[in-house]
Amino acid sequence: MADTGIFATTSEVQAKVGANASTTYNAEAYINQFMTEIESLINTETGVNFSDLYTSLNADVKGILKLAASNHAAMMVWNADPSGIPAREYETKLDVLRDGFTKAMGLLKDKLATDFIQGA
């Protein structure tokens, strides 16, 4: 099976997931599913179809999309089966991932950032 996500690869998501995650959900098939859902979410929430524009975007914009998508996908991997780590460590991982996702989404939705992205 190959990566089907546009914004981030399986290995980029797995790097954010880190150790002790479920081997079932930290696999390419599930990550591909998560990426499809997340890319649609990002496109819908921002009102910009980044999936269609992706090849024409500059590296900075692609990096923001990668940050948002890989963080959210890593959260979905952990949420599918959090039994691999203690509750406090799980909460901390989700906090860090959510903060990165939220920051990236804020940039993608921000008017000044939107002008930058559209000009990229």
The per-residue pLDDT for range 34-48, each reduced to its tens digit, is 999 999 999 999 989
Let me know: does 8 contact 70? Beta carbons within 8 Å.
yes
Range of the domain at 47: 10-119
User: Has residue 111 got a pLDDT over 90?
Assistant: no
Q: What is the pLDDT of residue 117?
A: 67
Q: What is the pLDDT of residue 113?
A: 67
**pLDDT digit string (tens) for 42-98?**
999 998 999 999 999 989 999 999 999 999 999 999 999 999 899 999 999 999 999
Dist. CA 110–CA 95, nearest whole Å = 22
- Establish if 76 belongs to a structural domain: yes
- Establish if 83 belongs to a structural domain: yes
Average pLDDT over residues 91-116: 88
- Establish if 3 belongs to a structural domain: no
- Establish if 2 belongs to a structural domain: no
